[in-house]
Chains A and B, each alone.
Chain A
Amino acid sequence: MSMILVACSLFGIGLLGVLVRRDIIALLASVEVMLGGALVLLVGLGASVKHVGSPVSVEGIALIVIVVAAAEAAVGLALLVAVARRRGATRVEDLSEVKG
């Protein structure tokens, strides 16, 4: 139960960060925190549920997700660097072209 609480807290903290931090680096970091919350939930629930004879290991899936997340973070940071070079800005309010 406490594990679920920890997972939800992490997810909520990350979400709050995504919504309120104006710096894109912090924003990306908050996304990682959200992802961490999801992973905690995955591993925690995987440990508490019995799965007899299943060839799938939850820890294995979690590791794969971490690898993919690392790759995604790399792509995100690369984009960020590109934007910063091009626009000289790393703040969300400076990137507001997508509007009606």
Chain B
Amino acid sequence: MAALLMAPWLAVVVPLVLAIAIGLVGRYAKPIVPLVAMIGPLLVVALGIGALAAIPIGASAAAEPWTSQLASSGSTVWFGVGALTISVGWAIDTLAALMLLVVGVVALMVIIFSIGYMSEDPGKVRYFALLSAFTGAMTLLVIGDSFTTLFVGWELVGACSYLLIGFWYQKPSAMAAAVKAFLTTRVGDVGLLFGLAVLWASTGSLGYVAVMHGLGSMAPGAITAAAVLLAIGAIGKSAQFPLHIWLPDAMEGPTPVSALIHAATMVAAGVFLIARTWPLFEAAPAARTVLLIAGLISALGAALAAIPQRDIKKVLAYSTISQLGFMFAALGVGAWGFAFFHLITHAAFKALLFLTSGSVIHGSGTQDMREMGGLRKAMPVTFVVWVVGVLSLVGLWPLAGFFSKDAILDAVWIAVPIAGVLLFATAFVTGVYSGRATRLTFFGSWRGSGHAHESPLTMLVPLVLLAIPAALLGFSGNWIMTRLGEHPEPLSLSISGVAVGLGLVGLLVGWSLERGENADEILQVRLGRAWTAGSAGFGWDTVVTRVVVVPVTVAARVLWAVVDRYVIDGTVEGTATVARWAGGVVSRLQNGDAQWYGALIVAGVALMLAASIWLGR
């Protein structure tokens, strides 16, 4: 591990190279492909552990924005143009090391799970290659010591996400979802890119340390602009309102991918970005307000939208948006440490829930919860780990979600009480959708066709392994906070009590929503448009379609019909017409008559003689 700290870039390069290798020759060695894909995550885990072990506790950071002493750092010049040089490098502090552990462990579990889940899929070689590539890209994002490096990783994980959402590219809906995810996150990425441009223009560098050092001499307006633009990038990547629409659609991808990319790691990259560059946001209150508002709307709105969903993965997708909203709200009030803590616990229990839903889908053959039911008997292990995950999500003591969520509630409540109220409401709604989904899936009687069966061992082992951190990770809160250089705060008993109470009541309400047959239809009649709107994500998709997609499409059509056809095609085809016309004129000279050629030669010679006489005067 110490050797790995000398060259942490191996944890980036090896998975990427292995991805290419799997893509090229994997089909000749199908059985060992998952094992090869595991090398990357194992390296990442080893790097994370090694870095954590190498960082002395309590030693203060040498410079902002590092959260501790660096376990390893280095950089090299990528390219230079004149006086301008762009360097890439790595720097691993506690924040990066913890993130590495999250990425590595979840990726490892997901790959093990996928051995069973994807065993029948004809494209599984491509699948494991992409998972390996994603691991490398995410590691690059995490260990980078500059915005440049982060941005490269940021775009690479986006590309992997696109390829994995559209993994079943024969399905038009999967391709559409992949394109939607790519384009929507691209909107945020443009914000991020502009933010980097502002930072570059103001500080002349994109290294974290140099930028944070240059903050003092930056104009307040520039700081705010940069921070808001970075926040937009984070909002796009982390699927926050108003750029959240891609995440529910991203469920078209294989379920383990949803667990890895769209629950635990890539969507958390926005939170990581802001935690990483926290001094910038410390200096930009306006950007923090943006984060808080986006987080609150996402948290409550997505939780409400999760209630009427029929697709078990859509419930979890909206739940992810909602939980990321918690993190953004925490960032908005300045509690970045709690946000990161929640990122870690959320990665554990949400990856667990997604993999469990994968197991449920594998066992029942459907994603529609109305066609499930009673699975606790057919799938006892899956049921137990699901309950662990759901209770952690709802935030019941002593599970992981309790500690991180209550820490956020505490911080937000003290900073902005009205925001705290909204988050308490979200905690309640979280209970409602969790209760409903649990009852629909695991209780009652079997409503599906065929026979539900428990998943194979390769799928159950990662579930059980993930259930351990999902249950117990909360107790590491103080340790994580201390190591991040933040102050751990004792949980307020009243806040926790209210939150747990609301969660329990929510669970009961959600449970009672689904009593008897046709409960959904009855609810639909009773609640009418509210239920329908909720199941459609409150129509935000439609709004975006009307306000953005349709005008852009119309504009593109107009540009195509006018500019493309007449100006661009006209130019190109005009060139051909002119060339053909000139060719026709000139080719008449070549009539095959030798004497005509001779005459031309004589005329040419005469002309040259005349010219030489004229010029040689």
User: B599 at interface (Cβ–Cβ under 8 A)?
Assistant: yes
Flag if A100 contacts B595 (CB, 8 Å): no
Closest chain-A Cβ to B580's Cβ sits at a distance in Å of 14
Closest chain A residue, CB of each to CB of B587: A100
Contacts of A19 in B (CB 8 A): 595, 598-599, 602
- CB within 8 Å for A93 and B587 given contacts A15-B602, A18-B598, A19-B598: no
Contact string, A40-61, partner B, CB cutoff 8 A, digits 1/0?
A: 0000000000000000000000
Flag if A96 contacts B599 (CB, 8 Å): no
User: A1 at interface (Cβ–Cβ under 8 A)?
Assistant: no
User: B543 at interface (Cβ–Cβ under 8 A)?
Assistant: no
Flag if A92 contacts B595 (CB, 8 Å): yes
Contacts of B599 in A (CB 8 A): 19
Flag if A95 contacts B591 (CB, 8 Å): no
Contact string, A1-36, partner B, CB cutoff 8 A, digits 1/0?
A: 000000000000001001110100001000000000
When chains A and B are docked, how far (Å) is the Cα of A27 from the Cα of B595? 10
Flag if B602 contacts A96 (CB, 8 Å): no
Question: Interface residues of B, CB < 8 Å — how many?
Answer: 12
B residues 186-201 near A (Cβ < 8 Å) are: none
User: B80 at interface (Cβ–Cβ under 8 A)?
Assistant: no
Contacts of A92 in B (CB 8 A): 593-595
Q: Is the interface of B mostly helix, strand, loop or mixed?
A: helix
When chains A and B are docked, how far (Å) is the Cα of A99 from the Cα of B598? 14
Contacts of B587 in A (CB 8 A): 100
Flag if A98 contacts B602 (CB, 8 Å): no
- CB within 8 Å for A99 and B595 given contacts A15-B602, A19-B602: no
Contacts of A22 in B (CB 8 A): 595
Flag if B602 contacts A99 (CB, 8 Å): no
Flag if B592 contacts A97 (CB, 8 Å): yes
Contact string, A79-91, partner B, CB cutoff 8 A, digits 1/0?
A: 0000000000000
When chains A and B are docked, how far (Å) is the Cα of A87 from the Cα of B43? 83
Contacts of B589 in A (CB 8 A): 100
Contacts of A96 in B (CB 8 A): 591-594
Contacts of A20 in B (CB 8 A): 595
When chains A and B are docked, how far (Å) is the Cα of A27 from the Cα of B598? 12
Flag if B594 contacts A98 (CB, 8 Å): yes
User: B85 at interface (Cβ–Cβ under 8 A)?
Assistant: no
User: B590 at interface (Cβ–Cβ under 8 A)?
Assistant: yes
When chains A and B are docked, how far (Å) is the Cα of A95 from the Cα of B595? 11
Residue among A95, A97, A99 with max Cβ neighbours from chain B (10 Å): A99
- CB within 8 Å for A98 and B595 given contacts A15-B602, A19-B602: no
Flag if A100 contacts B590 (CB, 8 Å): yes
Contacts of A27 in B (CB 8 A): 595
Contacts of B586 in A (CB 8 A): 100
B residues 539-595 near A (Cβ < 8 Å) are: 586-587, 589-595
- CB within 8 Å for A95 and B594 given contacts A15-B602, A19-B599, A19-B602: yes
Flag if A98 contacts B592 (CB, 8 Å): yes
Residue among A15, A27, A98 with max Cβ neighbours from chain B (10 Å): A98
11 A-B pairs besides A96-B594, A100-B586 with CB distance below 8 A are A19-B595, A22-B595, A92-B593, A92-B594, A93-B593, A96-B591, A96-B593, A97-B592, A99-B591, A99-B593, A100-B589
29 A-B interface contacts by CB (under 8 A): A15-B602, A18-B595, A18-B598, A19-B595, A19-B598, A19-B599, A19-B602, A20-B595, A27-B595, A92-B593, A92-B594, A92-B595, A93-B593, A95-B594, A96-B591, A96-B592, A96-B593, A96-B594, A97-B592, A98-B592, A98-B594, A99-B590, A99-B591, A99-B592, A99-B593, A100-B586, A100-B587, A100-B589, A100-B590
Identify the 3 closest CB pairs spanning chains A and B, nearest first.
A99-B592, A100-B590, A96-B592
